[in-house]
A and B are shown apart, each in its own frame.
Chain A
Amino acid sequence: MPLKIDEVFKSKMDAFTRTPSDGIWLAIEKELTLKPTAPQALWGKLISVLSILSLAGILFSIIQLGSSKPKNLSINPKNPTSNTPRVAFPHQAPQVPLAKAGHAPLRNPSAASSIIRASLKGPNPTQTPTPTPNVRPKTDQLPRPSAGLSAKPTALDSAAPSLMNSQTSSTSQSPKEIKKADHQYQMGDYVVFRIAFENTSTKTTNQLQIWEEFPDWCDASTLETIGHDPLHHVKTKIKKGQNTVIWKVKGDFVGPRASSPNKGYIEYRIQLTEAIRASELKRNEPQSK
């Protein structure tokens, strides 16, 4: 049963408002421009499907024209020297000669069908993702010293790949960017990675989610929801003896991944180097024990 203290808090806090800082709206606006609204997305998909279909239709017609044999062409009996080809099927026949219309008949129909295949295949999976606009960074993406252990700042993504090796088990939808940190990792530090995920089939990024699959040495803060930000930070606290960091990313994958054996998630396995494991971690063990 609510007590007096609850009632006072409720009545006063319900009416309380506080204006946020000016930058918030700009950050929201930027996120909104990255993510189309539901009706916009629906129309966008419909339009892209229709345009692919119409393109395929046009190309198919061109192939039909190109593969027509001479016996299907009619010769003007009044002027047999005229070599203007005409299509024999009236429902397909253009009203002007092809040469006059500026189109040479296709000599190699397979070339056109490869164009169709290319257009139906969708975006190139190896394509580099568009860089994310510089939205206001969230507080939880910023480095924080770990409590009680090493108070060194968090390693942020930037350089020095020599410290760590990374590998992924993903094939068609691998992370677009895994940058490594320029920091001597120590026990108690947070490893922070900036990873860009992109669903290459739908060109969306909001279906992915960092999925909890951590051994006990991982900090709970690694549980992050990707949300709408294609560039995302994940962090893991290194503990003594740790040599591997694993993140699994679960998503609503479509396209080639649907038939792959590890359907449903991509695994990122980051191997810490021997040197860090053996010397740095041990050397920085808390002295208070």
Chain B
Amino acid sequence: MELREIIDGCINGVPKAQRELYEKYAGLLMAICLRYSSHEAEDILQMSFVKIFGNIHKYKGEGSFEGWIKRITVNTAVTNYHKKNALKQAADIDDFHSELSDAQASTLSQMRADELLKLIEALADKYRVTFNLYAIEGYKHTEIAEMLGITEGTSKSQVSRARKMIQEQLERISQQEKAN
């Protein structure tokens, strides 16, 4: 079935089309959900799909469908984050600009996606969400600030701290590799 047929089927509530859409995108969206909350990923995925099916008639075919459903999933993950965390404005802004050392860069390039996911999972919620939105999803700091209800400076600070934490983890891993 072509994507357009699947979408039309979902608009008309055809179960086969809904199933096909799910099969096609569940893996991709699950990976996004895992990046935001590993232990609630399946809940977020479920909520995302219900939203997608409920609003699919609003998709007018402008822009990529994959981009549209990814955005819904990211928004659902962010909403979930809002529910779980009372957002507090971080007053401190310390932009951390540090490039990776050769050893860290080498470790990073050798790591598989699921290993990178573990690095992301190890971050605290607020750092994980801002890092995902900025580095992977490609949102700007102004957009992230609006989505999360924080200042642009806080968003920058949190991404920066997330990078620093990841870098520290990479350093530990590369040290272990050296020792072995």
Name A residues whose Cβ lies closer than 8 Å to a Cβ of B. Answer: 2-6, 8-10, 12-21, 24-25, 27-29, 31-32, 35-40, 136, 138-140, 220-221, 223-225, 227-228
Query: Interface SS of chain A: helix, strand, loop or mixed?
Result: helix
Pick the 3 closest A-B CB pairs, nearest first.
A17-B27, A6-B135, A16-B113
Contact of A17 among B31, B43, B50, B57 (CB under 8 A): B31
Residues of A within 8 A of B91 (CB): none
Minimal beta-carbon separation of B153 from chain A (angstroms): 16
Q: Is B176's CB within 8 Å of the partner chain A?
A: no
**Cross-chain contact B45 with A13 (CB below 8 angstroms):** no
19 contacts between A and B (CB under 8 A): A4-B99, A8-B116, A9-B136, A12-B113, A12-B116, A13-B35, A16-B31, A16-B117, A18-B27, A18-B30, A20-B26, A20-B41, A24-B49, A25-B19, A28-B46, A28-B49, A37-B10, A38-B54, A221-B84
Question: In the complex, how many angstroms separate the beta carbon of A105 from the nearest chain B beta carbon?
Answer: 46
Chain A positions within 8 Å of B99 at CB level = 3-4
The verdict on B3 contacting chain A, using a C-beta distance below 8 Å, is: no
Q: Which of B22, B34, B167 contacts A5 (CB 8 A)?
A: B167
Check if B53 is an interface residue, CB within 8 A of chain A. Answer: yes
Does B30 lie within 8 Å of A39, measured CB to CB? Answer: no
Number of A-B residue pairs with CB-CB distance less than 8 Å in the complex they form: 132
Q: How far is the CA of A261 from the CA of B28 in the complex (A)?
A: 48
User: Is B85 part of the binding interface, using a Cβ–Cβ cutoff of 8 Å?
Assistant: yes
Within the complex, what minimum Cβ distance (angstroms) separates A192 from chain B? 15
Q: Is A5's CB under 8 angstroms from B166's CB? A: yes
Return A167 CB to nearest CB of chain B, in Å.
27
A140 and B83 contact, CB distance less than 8 A = yes
The reply to whether B108 and A221 form a contact with Cβ atoms under 8 Å apart is no
The answer on a CB contact under 8 Å between A13 and B117 is yes
Closest-by-CB residue of A relative to B23 is A25
CB of B26 within 8 A of CB of A10, answer: no
Specify which chain A residues have a CB less than 8 angstroms from the CB of B30 in the assembled complex: 17-20
Q: Does B65 sit at the interface, judged by CB under 8 A?
A: no
B158 nearest CB across to chain A (Å): 14
C-alpha gap A150/B112 in the complex (Å): 41
Instruction: Say if the beta carbon of B5 comes within 8 Å of chain A.
Output: no
Contacts of A40 in B (CB 8 A): 13
User: Known: A17-B30, A18-B30. Contact between A37 and B11, CB under 8 A?
Assistant: yes
Q: Most chain-B Cβ atoms within 10 A of its Cβ — which of A6, A28, A140? A: A28
Cα–Cα, bound, A138→B19 (Å): 21
Find chain B residues with CB under 8 A from A3 CB: 97, 99-100, 163
Q: A10-B136, A37-B12, A139-B40 are in contact. Are A220 and B85 (CB under 8 A)?
A: yes
Shortest CB distance A56–B (Å)? 30
Q: In this assembly, does B15 line the interface, its C-beta being within 8 Å of a C-beta of chain A?
A: yes
